[in-house]
Chain A
């Protein structure tokens, strides 16, 4: 018997004949008359039978329309082959067309990594079949895991696949269903040999007839969702090209590297096809390193099957390798690799250690995405730039009257379009980076384009300054602000709103530069001028500035009272137009609570603020920055799982939005390293800190408070690792830096003193630990209060030092100031 008695697809009259089978069957007597023609071939098309000159051995696989047999050929050579034949009843015109397409596609291909077609024909029953190379092996992912292939071996294997796909592309054939089960790897003498086997949905570029058959008659979604490109998922699009395969290759590479798919299959498929399509079209996959870190225990297995430690794998992914699959998987086809061979080249680049074609997702990429999502709003290059440069131009201009604003907007738009973009060739626009545009703009400005319109120049310089700050170039930003302020002062005088605004805004650059004392000087002065010039009304922004400054200076009580006042002002409906600032005030105040050890209040305020906050698109990175501060609050409470989840979210988002080197990204990772250290995850802490410190030193400056914080954390890590000499050296640097930069009684400085004392304690250098701890305790009592967990921590350490030192009376004296013994222990 054939294995299948398919009813579906049979014409209706035939079904009706079946319905009447046996209807009027006489009790005995013969069946229907015996027809003359006779054939037995249907019986022979099964294992043990024969098709053409091939002996069918068993069934290898069965798809919707065909069956693949393992068959044996005897002449001219004896070999095993795979024979694919259309199933009985499946030989509709559509199926035959598709089947024929696959056969033709395969026949065009001649590549060692593509299963070769040997023969084709029709069965006696008239159904087409073809015979191809029989590949005995595992799917590529199984093969890699089974043999525990290293990342390098995997890449080499993958590269061969890319080249094979490229070969097909050169012959004008798109595979359209690249996935592990279609790539088998056979091994001979330890030599792994990948082969692409299934061209079942392949599309021949130059065969319009076939194309029509596939694209229009068949409205099924072809391909496998997890590996499907956005344009494939978008069924409206018949415009599938070779870059679809590049996308699928990207997914495959992702899976080979991380052991998981870019989108978690269960959640991915949960919401049905529309959801799948939406995810494929709109959601950026998590980076492989992030995905890996979210795997938990599973990550260990993944790493083991790659003969590598989890941390090392994460690092190698994070450091460049993951850019490759991410570039291959870009939503916008033009941003993917241009060909499969380019992808193969980049794999080779990585293996050789030379710079990659792929880069980290840039700000431009993110902005383009924004533009794409808001295409209706954003038309034309000028508008793109308006978005690029933030809402600043617009909001600036609103302040100076509608008519003039329009005129000036036009001027600025013209400038950007003609002078800036005009300098880039049309072709280059797509690749222009923000900094390229900024540099072009700056150059034109310096050439005196606006000599006769200095105020417009100032306004553009302000915009550029903000943009430089946005992309993490505070020093450039400072220069632009300074020049803008200068122009305003010259033409408007000190107290003009434009001058005040620009002077005020430069303070945010100082924040990025870690110049907290300069912030204080600047904003205090501004505060007084504004008070004199315009009364209380416009103080809300300045209050925020000052309060933020107090926070950075460790003057938490002052910060708290200012933020609270500001929040009150906002809540009173008088301040309607400033309502959008509310999330900033809320989160900043919560941050102050955290600093004061009031974690529950902080959490409550964070959560409440997040719930009601609406972050404008251009300020979305603020949301993630504050998310990381909430995460840090959780860390302080020892709620590590909650903390890590939020940290991952925040840091990942900021990396994408602002890049790894941006001060905001660095600031947000500050608590994450501590989280790792506190949990004893030293190798992760090591990786994170190594990168962060290096970046901070290069990107910010050596004595930037953020740099010093990383330095301090590294010292703590070394203490825990018992690498005391190095720890001491780092502490020395951190402590001295903090003393110079922030002052001797700043909470950060006190932290360094405390932590250094812990190091001394570990080394039994009690006489050195004691004075430091006394200073830390005293300072923290004053700054943070007696009950602050950090104060308690110092007291506890002091108590331990005395005990170990053989001074029980001193120890007892300090122990008694601890509230609850078990409380203190809990924090340890």
Chain B
């Protein structure tokens, strides 16, 4: 079964084509990395899938349901969860209140307390999120998305701006996720990408430049030229 399918997804901002004819299929349980230079359209792609932005053309399917015209909250109720590139939290509320808002009523598999306990955060549950360090807030970004009991998870640069220790914490969290959750990740840290992803899609100027397994991406000349070249 397909967790996500896009067909000819196109988005223009005025005369600027940010997404051009993007067709992509992600299987259930897959870990897919979306990489590409700045301005390639990665975050716009996530915003379009999650419903923040309406596409000009094309279709989006989540677990077989057509969601192209659905508002973000309806997509979330189908099991789609996301994190944001810049922390988007309820900073004046406690961690527990944040998690309470994220857990769907009557559907949650566990209580907010059990959830925070499981992830080792219960001790900090009463602290307002604004008092957390940047790295902790990045982790809370992920916790909020996980509290939704997602089936499809979009992670937008989860390790951005973090130290190596904090990056390790986040990658451990992501690596340990159940395969019941399909994960798409936008990430610039190539170590994280090659460690985590099953397949990689490379975007460039709003188009899919290449899609394939990790080794194929590493050896592709076009990808090296536009993105990985600087690494070598």
A and B: partners? no
| Chain B residues close to A by CB (< 8 Å) | none
